[in-house]
Structure 1
Amino acid sequence: MKRNFLIIPATILILAMSGCAQDSGGPKVNSDLTVDEAKRSTQAMAQTLAQLVPVELVSAVDQDPDGVLIKCGGDREYQWTGMTRVTLSPEVPYDGNEVTQDIAAQYRDASPYHARLGETSDGEPRVQVFQETGEDHLLSRSVDKSTIEIVSFSPCFTLAEGMSPSEKY
């Protein structure tokens, strides 16, 4: 458990840097989007992605109720970040290439989303589903091989005055 405690923040930090580094020089800021709307839509997409994992592979889906904010631009510009875990059934063999390729195929040309295949640092297949808004979801199997982790980033938004970026949302 202590190992996951360290891996998750490190993963979020690394992915945060890649999530904000879009080809257009950074995500556009949606100043009309609130932190609650950003969280709600990002969590909904993470749930949609979790449902694309073949049901026979899944023993549970758990979504963290809260996430944290990371900087994505200028003053008071943030992304909400969160985690969804798909616990894999130990009785059914997991083919990461097949799962990630199937998810990527669904979003490769599904505007406004795009998909990109890759690998984690330990060689696990990974799929990134993203929008030009900066919304970004990375799916890959956990280091201990028991779950698929979906690390999610909302579009970039302006945090309302009076709200603290150091709070959990």
Structure 2
Amino acid sequence: MKAELTWQEAKVQAQAMELEITALIPKDAAVSIDQKMKGVLLSCNKTQHNWNGSTTVMVADGTKIEPIVKAIEAHYRANGLNVSVDRNVNENYRIQIDPPAPGESYIDSEGLSPNEIRIASGSECFTLPEGIYPGGDF
């Protein structure tokens, strides 16, 4: 039987996946990578939460972001993960990668600013220890 996942382990796993996705962005396109060190906990259900964070990659002027996001989509589809596609509020191509773990997902799209790719993460669900308040930064 698998040991219960801690929020710290969930955070480490989600941030590792953010960086795995970031590594698929062509090196000559990426200008900077900003992985947020703190995130928040959201409810999965009445007893469990997941850790949510993000990484932002600034790309060089003139970089076409949609083909990069589509290549990331193809990579994860080829590796057997469930990937859904839609358009964000700015009509930019957006993918959601859903690994099999409950609650875990990664959303990748052009960010709110030009030349920005944003990777939002949600970890696998876990149970907080008794007495830990889920509000605030984690």
TM-score, length-normalised on structure 2?
0.91
Percent identity over paired residues? 29
Which residue of structure 2 lines up, in the alignment, with residue 105 of structure 1? 74
Contact 2:73–2:95 under 8 Å retained in 1: yes
Give the aligned residue type for 1:131. P
Contact 2:109–2:117 under 8 Å retained in 1: yes
Is the partner of 2:97 in helix, strand or coil? strand
The aligned runs of 1:9-158 (5 Å cut-off) are 32-75=4-47, 77-90=48-61, 93-111=62-80, 113-133=81-101, 134-158=103-127
Contact 2:63–2:115 under 8 Å retained in 1: no
Which residue of structure 2 lines up, in the alignment, with residue 165 of structure 1? 134
Q: Which has the higher helix share?
A: 1
Contact 1:69–1:79 under 8 Å retained in 2: yes
How big is the shift at 1:150? Answer: 0.6
Q: Which runs of 4+ in 1 moved over 6 A?
A: none
Is the partner of 2:9 in helix, strand or coil? helix
C-alpha distance in 2 between matches for 1:125 and 1:149: 12
Unaligned 5+ segments in structure 2 are: none
C-alpha distance in 1 between matches for 2:127 and 2:23: 30
How big is the shift at 1:31? Answer: 7.3
C-alpha distance in 2 between matches for 1:123 and 1:94: 17
C-alpha distance in 2 between matches for 1:98 and 1:81: 26
Which residue of structure 2 lines up, in the alignment, with residue 25 of structure 1? none
- Aligned residue pairs: how many? 136
C-alpha distance in 1 between matches for 2:64 and 2:116: 13
